[in-house]
Amino acid sequence: MGAFRVIFVVDILNGTVVHAIKGERENYHPIHHRSRIVDTSDPVNVIKVVNPHETYVADLDAIMRVSAPRSNSPIIACIREETNTSVILDMGIRSVDDLEFASSISDFVVIGTETATYDVIEAASGMDAFVSFDMKNHKIITRDSRLRISPYRLIEWTNTLNLAGIIILNLSNVGTKRGFDIGFLEKIVEISEHPIFLGGGVRCVDDLRLLEEIGVEGALVATAIHDGTIPCKLIQDPLSLS
């Protein structure tokens, strides 16, 4: 295993970076209202200030389908062109066409179970793609009955695909700093043949070290960066936490 990857998260809603909490998207507010490290909610400027090595960009408008299709795409393209970050993009992929478009404006694509189907996930095999297990209470959130199985069985299926990694995203924990289920993650790591990444619940640097110890290869972080609990240096360079 290489250096533990601490990946900065930017959630974009209506062209603005927002503070995501518990998947309750109607309650999201501009990030500068609570951040200690930025005084802007402009996506490009936030990333320029924070200067992360990797950024997970969640295009909430595309995920929620609340505005014109791909309305944030020019912003995402600017992030890739005007900053030094590697872009890992979740834009609510629902089709192979979405998958191909997302690949054209990012370095890695995220296919989330919340919006994608079994067939679209299968089509991503061999691409620079992550599959996100979007969950609440350890249950997969999905529209496709073929994906409505236990996370452990879903891991076994994704083992047959060529992927960049698996993201375990507990939407109930996003933005809460409430921690995570170690036993669940240990079993996921044991079963998976892909790198495992955690999204949601990370509280501090000790949490990152614990995740590294159990074999998780990276974590998505935002709240603990913005409130200063996790120093920006950990997202600026791919350093080992040891």
Q: Determine the pLDDT at residue 155.
A: 97
CA distances from 125 to 84, 109, 157, 163, 238 (A): 27, 11, 12, 6, 26
**pLDDT tens digits, residue range 146-199?**
999 999 999 999 999 999 999 999 877 665 566 788 999 999 999 999 999 999
E-assigned strand segments in the chain:
5-13, 16-19, 29-30, 54-59, 86-90, 108-112, 129-136, 139-140, 165-170, 196-199, 218-221
Q: Determine the pLDDT at residue 162.
A: 98
Q: Determine the pLDDT at residue 182.
A: 92
Domain 5-236 has CATH 3.40.50.300: no
Q: Which helix (H) or strand (E) holds 192?
A: none
**pLDDT tens digits, residue range 185-240?**
999 999 999 999 999 889 999 999 999 999 999 999 999 999 999 999 999 987 75
Average pLDDT, the chain: 91
Beta carbons within 8 Å of 59's beta carbon, 6+ residues apart: 12, 72, 73, 76, 89, 90, 91, 92
Task: Please state which of the ranges 96-100, 102-106, 236-240 shows the lowest mean pLDDT.
Answer: 236-240
The answer to whether 214 touches 207, Cβ cutoff 8 Å, is no
Q: Determine the pLDDT at residue 112.
A: 96
Q: How far apart are CA 86 and CA 79, in angstroms?
A: 9
**pLDDT tens digits, residue range 46-56?**
999 999 999 99
Q: Show the tokens assigned to 78.
A: 């600017």
| Long-range contact set of residues 182-191: C-beta below 8 Å, sequence gap at least 24 | 182/210, 182/214, 184/138, 184/151, 185/211, 185/214, 185/216, 186/214, 186/215, 187/152, 188/151, 188/152, 188/155, 189/214, 189/215, 189/216, 190/215, 191/152, 191/155, 191/156, 191/159
CA distances from 159 to 39, 189, 192, 233, 238 (A): 42, 12, 6, 33, 26
**Domain residue extents for the chain:** 5-236
Q: Determine the pLDDT at residue 176.
A: 57
